[in-house]
Chain A
Amino acid sequence: MTLLAHAIAASPPATLAPGGLRGRPMAWSETGGLGLWSTEWAPDIKLERPDALEHHRLVERICAAQPCLPVRFGTAFATADEARASLDKRAAALRAALARVAGKSELALTLLWREPSAPQRIESTAGPGRQYMETRRAEFGARESRRARAESMVEQVVGELAIERQLVWHETCTSDNVAVSLAVLVPTERAGERKAQLEQVAAGFPDVLPVLNGPWPPYTFARTE
């Protein structure tokens, strides 16, 4: 039997409905005041895409019942002893991360460019070599200008919502479509209010389409490395 990991929590474990992934039994493997919630899995059963979404729903259920750290989907242990040994190895970092996310949820804000990037058209009578270089320079300039704009939107969001820096994670211009991908850790009881504030700030950016998600379990803020 394999244990397919979902989330780490402090002991004692909360009382949860017994069904894990695909209705299989849930397991709690405890050591030194920490425990791992997982599903009793069989190594020959392949994980599919719907399992990822069901894992998300399970993590939501666990995090609603007690402070927890979501474990990256696909993590499996051959035995409960292996799971406990893995917790023991990083116990101090896991406890610190649990304290950081306790009572908090994650909101996700993605800003999508409304228009594709349009580098300045180069009209030149110069030779093909120079035209090529000028075109490359114009493309680079357009990319840098978009990156600067994306960073300025992040600054505005963080500033207007008065969010502590360590509670924000972001990336900019990760693809042609995405201007900003941002995650914020907020108190769970204020998640609705903070989401409305984020929506309001993002609605003020004319050049992007805002997409807001959450509250989710604190995936982005659960890392310990």
Chain B
Amino acid sequence: MKELTAEDTSLLELVDRLLNKGVVLAGEATISVAGVDLIYLGLNVVLAAVETLEKAQERRAS
């Protein structure tokens, strides 16, 4: 099991709120990092997913 630090956790909690909480209005657009939509990814996968995807993208580009 990968250990989460307090810093990881704080960032994950904030990112979760930005992407998964707040008012949902019609007209929503998705945002993506490395071509993968982030909005509906959950708290525990967002940060890890972003890092992994970015690394995978870099590997593919090199």
Q: Which residues of A pack against B, CB within 8 Å?
A: 5, 8, 46-49, 51-53, 55-56, 69-78, 82-83, 85-87, 89-90, 94, 97, 106, 108, 110, 112, 116, 174-178, 181, 209, 211, 213, 216, 219-220, 222-225
Contact = CB atoms under 8 A, between A and B. Distances in A.
Contacts, number: 121
Contact of A181 (B1, B13, B15, B18): B13
Nearest to B27: A77
Interface of B: 1-4, 6, 9-10, 13-33, 38-39, 42-44, 50
Contacts of A77: 27
A56 B30 CA distance: 17
A47 B39 CA distance: 12
A216 B14 contact: yes
B29 A75 contact: yes
A13 B21 CA distance: 23
A114 to B, nearest CB: 10
Nearest to A115: B1
A222 B25 contact: no
Contacts of B27: 75-78, 82-83, 86
B51 to A, nearest CB: 10
30 contacts: A46-B32, A52-B15, A52-B19, A71-B23, A71-B25, A72-B18, A72-B20, A72-B21, A72-B39, A73-B19, A73-B39, A75-B29, A76-B28, A77-B27, A83-B27, A85-B26, A86-B26, A106-B17, A108-B13, A175-B44, A176-B1, A181-B13, A181-B16, A213-B13, A216-B14, A219-B18, A219-B22, A220-B17, A220-B21, A223-B24
Contact of A174 (B17, B19, B21, B42): B42
